[in-house]
């Protein structure tokens, strides 16, 4: 997936996640963290689409690297609340831990590929699939009641 496809797809999955969580607000423990994680993901992806790849990934000297986004405040908030969401989900025992560990493992692989600049497009595709997998897990657990 290229830059815009990836970020647009992640905006879409984050909006769907936000809606799924809000609808089941009373049934999900520590729901506020999940809502904030979705909101910061939406804000970060929208910022990336709005500013464009060149502005997000170039430093003050004009050097291009995908690691330049690591210092952006919205990226840091997105990452922080994503990690908090994983911790809260593991803590509350509502979702099967095997599902969560698969997602965590997939995200670790994706971030490793992305931040070592091995293959950014493959990393983007896998990251989107991990977002989509999280949606499926939430849907299965809270809408189909399968744990």
In a domain, 147, yes or no: no
Most confident of 25-29, 36-40, 91-95, 109-113: 36-40
Pick 32 or 61 by higher pLDDT: 32
Q: Where in the sequence is the domain holding 100, given as residue range(s)?
A: 3-142
Q: How many residues does the chain have?
A: 147
Q: Is the pLDDT of residue 90 over 80?
A: yes
Kindly report whether the global pTM for this prediction surpasses the value 0.95.
no
Count of alpha carbons within 13 Å of 128, Cβ hemisphere only? Answer: 18
Instruction: Provide the number of structural domains found in the chain.
Output: 1
Calculate the alpha carbon distances from 91 to 18, 78, 88, 109, 134 in Å. 20, 20, 5, 23, 17
- CA distances (Å), 47 to each of 16, 29, 98, 119, in order? 18, 29, 33, 23
The answer to the question of residue 22 being in a domain is: yes
């Amino acid at each position: 997936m290229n830059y815009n496809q990836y970020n647009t797809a992640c905006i879409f999955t984050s909006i769907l996640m936000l809606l799924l969580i809000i609808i089941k607000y009373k049934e999900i423990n520590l729901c506020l963290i999940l809502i904030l994680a979705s909101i910061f993901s939406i804000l970060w992806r929208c910022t990336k689409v709005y500013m464009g790849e060149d502005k997000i990934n170039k430093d003050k000297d004009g050097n291009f690297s995908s690691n330049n986004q690591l210092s952006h405040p919205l990226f840091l908030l997105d990452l922080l609340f994503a990690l908090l969401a994983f911790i809260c989900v593991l803590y509350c025992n509502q979702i099967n831990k095997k599902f969560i560990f698969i997602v965590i493992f997939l995200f670790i692989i994706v971030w490793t590929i992305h931040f070592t600049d091995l293959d950014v497009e493959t990393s983007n595709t896998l990251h989107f699939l991990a977002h989509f997998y999280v949606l499926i897990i939430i849907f299965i657990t809270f809408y189909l009641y399968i744990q």
